[in-house]
A and B are shown apart, each in its own frame.
Chain A
Amino acid sequence: MERKTQVHAEAGRQDLLITRVFELPVDLLYRAFTEADIVQQWMNTHVIKLESKTHGSWQFETLDPSGNVAFKANGTIHILIPEEKLVRTFEMENAAFGVQLEILEFKSIDENTSSLQMHSIYESVELRDAMLKLPFAYGINMAHDRLQEILQSLK
């Protein structure tokens, strides 16, 4: 996979920046973050609730292969400006990572290209670093997803 996604996480800071350019018009990129049935497809999670509006709230839940809840997260939507900006909070339930403030900016580059900048602010440097270490656990799921994709393509 190409290195299209960039993560800027400076040592000793409590925030990080994720940037990526998509081969998609900005309206489609925006829809990918605001429509429940689409979010479900790429986040691999069940969207329990997603009120895409200023002062709305959201709730995601992921089940493991045996049907137990593996991951639950929720937050509120602070500001939503269509095809421009989404400010929301993110909190993983039953986890000690605290709450994060996420500022997402969508920008049109041309009619078929758009960019996303996602700025996440954590409660402390320590919590940000703990969260950065977490994907070692996710890595297992990723491998699992990839395996499923391959199996499906063989069908």
Chain B
Amino acid sequence: MNLRRDVFQAIADPTRRAILLLLASQSMSAGAIAANFDTARPTVSKHLQILTECELLSQEHNGREVYYHLNAQGMKEIADYIEPFRMMWEHRFHKLESVMKKYKRKK
């Protein structure tokens, strides 16, 4: 799976966003996560699978249960993604500041 392309697809879904929010503070078993949604259990499992494939979630096997927790590195990928956008504004604002400093001297 192409991580860079699909990570945004993964978080575009409201149920998957809700799962990420749910796991923000604790790790949970698949069953406990599913209990928070009206959706059928296999549908929740499918969402968990997509989030895991995109490396936003990590799995941990504990006995017969599978526990899920947020993958900090995967979440950081989202932050890295916006870096070129940030740099574009950094560059523009840097220019704005140097242009306006000339006006400041003219005053």
* A residues with CB within 8 A of B: 1, 3-7, 9, 11-12, 18, 20, 22-25, 28-29, 31-32, 38, 41-44, 116, 125-126, 129, 131-136, 138-139, 142, 145
Contacts and interface: CB of A to CB of B under 8 A. Distances in A.
B interface: dominant SS: helix
Given A7-B82, A7-B86, A22 B20 contact: no
B82 to A, nearest CB: 5
A145 B81 CA distance: 22
B100 interface: yes
Interface in B9-65: 11-12, 14, 17, 20
Contacts of B101: 23-24
Interface of B: 8, 11-12, 14, 17, 20, 75, 78, 81-82, 84-97, 99-101, 103-104
Given A5-B90, A126-B12, A24 B100 contact: yes
Contact of B85 (A11, A126, A135): A135
A23 B97 contact: yes
Contact of A29 (B84, B87, B100): B100
Given A7-B82, A138-B84, A38 B90 contact: no
B84 A11 contact: no
Nearest to A134: B85
25 contacts: A3-B90, A4-B90, A4-B94, A5-B90, A7-B82, A7-B85, A11-B75, A11-B78, A12-B11, A12-B12, A12-B20, A20-B89, A20-B93, A22-B93, A23-B97, A24-B101, A28-B104, A29-B96, A32-B96, A43-B92, A131-B85, A132-B85, A135-B84, A135-B88, A139-B88
